[in-house]
Homo-oligomer: A and B are copies of this chain.
């Protein structure tokens, strides 16, 4: 996500109301380096905002995804993970402990993807998911 100010500015200009519920979800996500599920977000925020509902969490996440402030990740079978980090990076998923690790490819790490077209199809985004055993599980 962008900064708090930028994000709420974008929502305002798109015509969304900045309700306390939405702001709580946004504050939860800003600077969050994990990849929480809707259930985790709901569970954590419910403590502080007991009247928050699941629908509102989903609605807010879908709204944020629509304006590309978060990205949903299909890493597991039964649920989505949400990534507030919209910088270009990839993911590693451990098949033993299910942890999700951000991969920021550096020079020499040999992650390179085409941009523009491939076989005549126009690429707009690319997702890379590595699976294996994470450092701690090894």
Q: Tell me the A residues contacting B by CB distance below 8 Å.
A: 74-75, 77, 92, 94-95, 101, 103, 109-114, 118-135, 138
> Given that A111-B113, A112-B112, A114-B109 are contacting pairs, would A124 and B119 also be in contact in the complex, using a CB cutoff of 8 Å?
no
Query: Which residues of chain B come closer than 8 Å to A126, judged between CB atoms?
Result: 128-131
This chain's copy number in the assembly: 2
A-B contact pairs, 24 of them (CB 8 A): A74-B75, A74-B77, A92-B121, A92-B123, A95-B124, A109-B114, A110-B112, A110-B113, A111-B113, A111-B114, A112-B112, A121-B130, A122-B134, A122-B138, A123-B130, A123-B131, A124-B131, A125-B130, A126-B128, A126-B129, A126-B130, A127-B127, A127-B128, A128-B128
